[in-house]
């Protein structure tokens, strides 16, 4: 326990709580921050980023490969803490996950589950065309027997469009799979099977509006 865990109570707002959100995806983390008395006795914002730790969902996504977390040398907000001790590095909230067998990971000895702080210039290069493949977790949806939708998870290689690691679901009582698509950040991509290069593939340049 910290030596002094008490916070200065705000006369107007009491313990002045704020709900934690994830820096990377903006979803609530379930943490509650008690800000107490703030400068000018202001009310705490409803949502705040309380730490640089990713939420469970993002942390699981990062574990899929080597997570490259974008950082800049300049803080976005005055007084923002650095992500690394004794260095001025500030995360932008963006990350990509790269297959550990990619050259950049092999060359540096980085393995799956590792998190690497990546300066923004390099990060930008990595996400531009020609960089190593990056993985993203997405939702795999199959539509059966006149509209019943069955969801599972999958991984999409955001460079090539290859879909892998499709979660299995029991569809014993279903007969006809009428449609299969992948949802990436809420956007729908039709799945193509047995293309020249891949068993499962989505054309990332061609999303359909839901």
What residues line the site for Zn ion (CB under 5 A)? 22, 24-25, 55, 58
Question: Measured from the CB of residue 18, what is the shortest distance to Zn ion in angstroms?
Answer: 17
At 83, list the tokens. Answer: 């992500």
Q: Using the minimum distance from each CB to Zn ion, give the nearer residue, 25 or 117.
A: 25
Q: Using the minimum distance from each CB to Zn ion, give the nearer residue, 22 or 44.
A: 22
Measured distance CA(3)–CA(57) in Å, rounded: 32
At 41, list the tokens. Answer: 């006795």
Question: Measured from the CB of residue 26, what is the shortest distance to Zn ion in angstroms?
Answer: 7
Question: Measured from the CB of residue 113, what is the shortest distance to Zn ion in angstroms?
Answer: 17
Residue 20 near residue 30, CB atoms below 8 Å: yes
Measured distance CA(147)–CA(39) in Å, rounded: 55
Question: Measured from the CB of residue 115, what is the shortest distance to Zn ion in angstroms?
Answer: 14
Q: Using the minimum distance from each CB to Zn ion, give the nearer residue, 28 or 41.
A: 28
Question: Measured from the CB of residue 5, what is the shortest distance to Zn ion in angstroms?
Answer: 27
Question: Measured from the CB of residue 57, what is the shortest distance to Zn ion in angstroms?
Answer: 5
């Amino acid at each position: 326990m910290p030596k002094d865990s008490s916070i200065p109570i705000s006369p107007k707002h009491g313990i002045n709580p704020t709900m934690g959100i994830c820096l990377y995806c903006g979803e609530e983390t379930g943490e509650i921050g008690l800000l107490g008395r703030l400068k000018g006795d202001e009310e705490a914002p409803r949502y705040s980023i309380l730490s640089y730790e990713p939420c469970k969902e993002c942390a699981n996504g990062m574990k899929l490969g080597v997570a490259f977390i974008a950082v800049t040398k300049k803080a976005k907000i005055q007084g923002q803490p650095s992500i690394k001790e004794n260095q001025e590095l500030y995360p932008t909230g963006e990350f990509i996950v790269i297959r550990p067998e990619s050259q950049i990971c092999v060359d540096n000895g980085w393995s799956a589950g590792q998190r690497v702080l990546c300066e923004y210039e390099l990060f930008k290069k990595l996400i531009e065309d020609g960089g190593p493949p990056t993985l993203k977790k997405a939702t795999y949806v199959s539509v059966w027997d006149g509209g019943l939708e069955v969801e599972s998870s999958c991984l999409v290689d955001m460079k090539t469009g290859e879909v892998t690691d499709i979660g299995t679901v029991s569809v014993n009582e279903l007969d006809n799979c009428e449609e299969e698509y992948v949802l990436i950040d809420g956007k729908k991509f039709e799945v193509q099977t047995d293309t020249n290069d891949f068993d499962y593939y989505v054309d990332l340049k061609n999303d359909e509006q839901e």
